[in-house]
Structure 1
Amino acid sequence: MAQEYVLEATVRDRVGKGAARALRRENKIPAVIYGGKKPPLPIALPYKDVNLKLHAGGFLTHVWTIKVGGESIRVLPRDYQLEPVRDFLAHVDFLRITRDSRVAVEVPVHFENEEESPGLKRGGVLNIVRHTVELDCPATSIPEALTFDLTGLDIGDTIHISAVTLPDDVAPTITDRDFTVATIAAPAVTPDEEDAAAEEAAAEEAEEAAEGEGEAEGGEEEGSSDDSES
């Protein structure tokens, strides 16, 4: 299960662009907690702490406990906005969660035992079709990642979602097919290899053509000799 974060927050008494700019000057980030059949709660969080967690990975799959106004609220980040010009974190939306909450989340895909794959040993390429898989799961039991074992896989083999064992209460949101996550593809051909192959094919074709001409000329000479004898 993904780890949980704990952060201290303060309630925002003002909202809007001006108030948000004022918060950022104080090295804080505006955010809002919504859901749980309660009114939205505007809050401010320490910018540095939230930004570090954003770049640590798994930002949208980790449950947070936000302590604000004497209350501890369990939440899940559902969206965030970046400032379009300078690319800094501008706002975060959090969803209140309970023990019974279920969510659809994108969970990253990992692979292990690449050295045990005959196909990769022979120069094959791991072609990742899905870098994340959307899962329907309890908000309090989100897998950190889905790890697929490459042991024994050869060139041409396909890795389906059924290759990984999911907890009983977790399922892919795509339920109508055993979809592909990755494949072991044949080695990629470089431009130099393509040129070499083309030159080799051209040489073989020229050699075959020359042999054909030689055989034709030999046949004509034999025919000429027969005519003179007659």
Structure 2
Amino acid sequence: MATIHEVNAEVRSDEGKGASRRLRHAGMVPAIVYGGDQPPKSIQIEHRIVMALAKHEWFFSSVLDLKVDGKSEKVLLRDWQKHPYKLQMMHMDFQRVRAGEKLHTSIPLHFLNQEKSPAGKTSGVVISHNFTEVEVACLPEHLPEYIEVDLSTIDQGDIIHLSELNLPEGVEIPELRHGPEHDLPVVTVHAVKIEVEPTEGEGEEGAAAPAPSASAEASSDEGDDAGEDK
């Protein structure tokens, strides 16, 4: 049975920038609910509740039970704005979810057992996570909170593509409908090339010429003496 995540909110009557500013000063977060066969609804949620919920990954990717003045409806958090530098949520947008209607949303990826893999135990090998989330399509009741990616057997040179992800029943990746070229690599493993820097005086232009040998110096001195005798 899917976990129920409940969020309590209230209807708000005042709208506009001034009203939103007053709400934030009062410790509330202005928000809106839209979609479905109902008109948009302006709501407000206590900021302390929002910040507590925002600590959980599921708050941003799961179907939520939004209770507005006692009435519940299924929604997804579609957008949110945070303050540029304060620990403050400024505004949120929720989209209504209808039973029997497919939804499209991004789901986080959880990478497991990387340290146990052959690649994870090999020095000089880098395991790259090219995506941290993936867009899926499914009915609301099939929406997972995350998708696990098991890396326990991954080795140097291996690649895990979108098509190789272990998806729950009823869940698909729309990107794959567009052809093989859209089957992007989620994880890649490659060795790091280590370049050895030349030691001082080796392989550099303008390096000092080797000192002449003693015999060469002697020959030069004899030649000079002969020139002076002439």
Query: How far, CA to CA, are the matches of 2:64 and 2:18 in structure 1?
Result: 27
- SS at structure 2 position matched to 1:38: coil
The code of the aligned residue for 1:154 comes to D
Structure-2 change in CA distance of 1:84 and 1:152 (3 Å) = closer
The code of the aligned residue for 2:132 comes to H
Residues 148 and 163 of structure 1 are in contact (CA less than 8 Å); yes or no, is this contact kept in structure 2?
no
User: For residues 124-143 of structure 1, what are the structure 2 equivalents within 5 Å?
Assistant: 124-143=125-144
Matched, 1:121 2:121: yes
Match of 2:186 in 1: 181
Query: How far, CA to CA, are the matches of 1:37 and 1:188 in structure 2?
Result: 57
Match of 1:112 in 2: 112
Unpaired runs of at least 5, structure 2: 204-230
Structure-2 change in CA distance of 1:148 and 1:19 (3 Å) = same
Matched, 1:34 2:34: yes
Unpaired runs of at least 5, structure 1: 204-230
Residues 33 and 42 of structure 2 are in contact (CA less than 8 Å); yes or no, is this contact kept in structure 1?
yes
**Superposition deviation, residue 116 in structure 1:** 3.4
**Superposition deviation, residue 57 in structure 1:** 2.4
**Superposition deviation, residue 98 in structure 1:** 2.1
Query: How far, CA to CA, are the matches of 1:6 and 1:152 in structure 2?
Result: 38
The code of the aligned residue for 2:141 comes to T
Higher helix share: 1
- SS at structure 2 position matched to 1:18: helix
Structure-2 change in CA distance of 1:145 and 1:2 (3 Å) = farther
The code of the aligned residue for 1:184 comes to V
Structure-2 change in CA distance of 1:85 and 1:117 (3 Å) = closer
Query: How far, CA to CA, are the matches of 1:137 and 1:14 in structure 2?
Result: 36
Q: Over the residues paired in the alignment, what is the CA RMSD in angstroms?
A: 2.4
Residues 109 and 133 of structure 1 are in contact (CA less than 8 Å); yes or no, is this contact kept in structure 2?
yes
Q: What TM-score, normalized by structure 1, do the two folds share? A: 0.77
Query: How far, CA to CA, are the matches of 1:120 and 1:172 in structure 2?
Result: 28
Structure-2 change in CA distance of 1:65 and 1:152 (3 Å) = closer
**Superposition deviation, residue 96 in structure 1:** 0.9
Residues 126 and 184 of structure 1 are in contact (CA less than 8 Å); yes or no, is this contact kept in structure 2?
yes
**Identical pairs, percent:** 35
**Superposition deviation, residue 74 in structure 1:** 1.4
- SS at structure 1 position matched to 2:157: coil
Residues 120 and 127 of structure 2 are in contact (CA less than 8 Å); yes or no, is this contact kept in structure 1?
yes
**Superposition deviation, residue 58 in structure 1:** 3.7
